[in-house]
Amino acid sequence: MSTTKGWVGTWRPHKPRGPIAALYGSPGPKYALPGLTGNSKHDPTKYKAPMFSFGMRHEQASCDCSPGPRYFVPSNVTRVGRDGTPAFSLHGRPKEPEVFNAPGPGKYSPEHSGKSIFQSSPAYSLSGRTKEQSMNLTPGPAAYSLPPMFGPKTMGKSSAPCYSICGRSKSGTFHGDPKKTPGPAAYKAVDLNTYMQKPPQFSMTGRNYTPGDTTKTPGPGAHYPEKVINTRAKAPSFSFGLRHSQYISPLIVEAPE
């Protein structure tokens, strides 16, 4: 590398910038196979062993498991209940309970119980009219009316024909304006096919062709039976390929001028 007598031109060998597939005899970095270690991007065709991880350390639990001073037990409470010492408090005086006023024997009148025990005749009294009767809004006799017996509005009876003398209408009469009468075009004529036999109808439509197969199928000349190797043995074949790498520089020697 120190002498320049063996080189021709300005080109000098240098280190390639990246891996070249022609420099390796094996596939090498050409195939990015998944790894066999770890959990991320593991090869799905290989067995994966169990994995363990170092998790986070939880907060240390309090070692004080007894109630301690958190629970205050009164001094007058023992294991059998409260002690018998008197206790006083500054509260209001409660109200004294009222005396139960039960009815005595003089509250009962057995002499008035004759109607409840013995059979008695009905009794009536002339009492005043209550206010509830004024809310009775039932219709009276004058609220009903019978249908009339003459005229066109009789019900349940046969009525004679009735006529009335009304004014003469100016629309549609001979002394009206003939321009306001409808002309022949104002009436829509009924189609004859509605109430008569309908004749056959024809139309000038396009000519329909018989549907056919439009797919492009190969013809007899597109097949090569002599190249079939599935049903018979194939003869050995050889090719003249390159045995050396394309990246190998040619041998350059110094020739006499």
Query: pLDDT tens digits for 176-232?
Result: 666 777 778 888 888 888 888 888 888 887 777 777 777 788 888 888 888 888 887
**DSSP one-letter string for the chain:** ----TT--SS------SS--GGG-SS-GGGS-PPBSSSSTTB-TTS---------PPPPPPPS--S-GGGSPPPTTEETTEE-S-------PPPPPPPP-----GGG--GGG-HHHHS--------PPPPGGGGG-----GGG--PPPSSSTT-SSS---------PPP-TTSTTS-GGGS--GGGSPPPPHHHHSPPPP----PPPPPPP--------GGG--GGG--SSSPPPP-------S-TTSPPP--PPP-
pLDDT in tens, 16-51: 777 776 666 665 555 677 888 877 888 888 888 887
Spatial separation of the C-alpha atoms in residues 199 and 193, rounded to whole Å: 8
Tokens in use for 40? Answer: 């991320």
pLDDT-derived band at 171, boundaries 50, 70, 90: low
| pLDDT computed for residue 173 by the predictor | 64
Least confident span in 69-73, 165-169, 187-191: 69-73
With cut-offs at 50, 70 and 90, classify the pLDDT of residue 135. Answer: low
The span from the CA of 17 to the CA of 12, in Å, is: 15
**pLDDT tens, residue by residue, 12-21:** 777 777 777 6
Percent of the chain with pLDDT over 70: 76
User: Alpha-carbon distance 7 to 251, whole Å?
Assistant: 10
pTM of this structure: 0.14
- With cut-offs at 50, 70 and 90, classify the pLDDT of residue 103: confident
The band of 1, judged by pLDDT with boundaries at 50, 70 and 90, is very low
| pLDDT at position 65 over 70 | no
Residue 245 scores a pLDDT above 50: yes
